[in-house]
Amino acid sequence: MAKPNVISRQELLQSARDVIASHGIQALTLKAVATGAGVTQGTVYYHFRNKEQLLLELIKEMCQDSWKNLLDDAGQGEEILEKALASARSRCTHDSPYHRVYFSLIAAGIYQETLGKELASLQELENKALGMAVKRFAKNEELVDIPAERWATLFNAWIDGLALQALLSPSFDADQAYADLAQVIRYLVGRKGEEQT
């Protein structure tokens, strides 16, 4: 018997995560979410207008949790760099449910203005959080005369680009790519030190 319409958005989002984890992103439908949560499909529509809104909420929650954990738990300097890269690397896989959802939403957002605006604000949130991490890594100084906020945009683009390559190519060596990215960052920090002497 279905539960009454007393169910939270969080419970529905958890049901969506369970569907993706068990059956993959292609199996995610509002009906599957309803079945997993033990409610009617109408209850899911009460909380989410459509599948895109559900996916967007799922991505927002994952991003916010990831960046909050990084900034709350990490220290300064190399420690925050290592944690940020490890966090991004953990989602950089050929079968990453996070990036499958994220890039699917980006494709839809190109044609749906409202969704595009929501994704742009999510991107701004990520850039802001990454900018804070860059400031902590660089000890509030610029890296090679570029402010942390602009580095955040560049790093975010690198991370998303690596994730896209991993999704498209099962043979993509994400470990090597992230080791190379860390080396580039360390080089830039070293250049900053050379310029100051």
Could you tell me if 36 and 102 lie in one domain?
no
pLDDT tens string 111-121: 889 888 988 98
pLDDT tens string 131-155: 887 777 777 666 667 887 888 888 8
Please say whether the beta carbons of 166 and 92 come within 8 A: yes
pLDDT at 32: 95
User: How many structural domains comprise the chain?
Assistant: 2
Residue 156 or 66, more confident: 156
pLDDT at 102: 84
CA 130 distance to own-chain centroid: 11
Q: Which domain holds residue 188?
A: 52-196
Could you tell me if 13 and 91 lie in one domain?
no
* pTM over the 0.85 mark: no
CA-based end-to-end distance of the chain: 72
Helix (H, G, I), strand (E, B) or coil at 146: strand
CATH number (domain holding residue 122): 1.10.357.10
In angstroms and rounded to an integer, the radius of gyration of the C-alpha atoms of the chain is 19
CB-based burial of residue 124 (10 Å sphere; 0-12 exposed, 13-18 middle, 19+ buried)? Answer: exposed
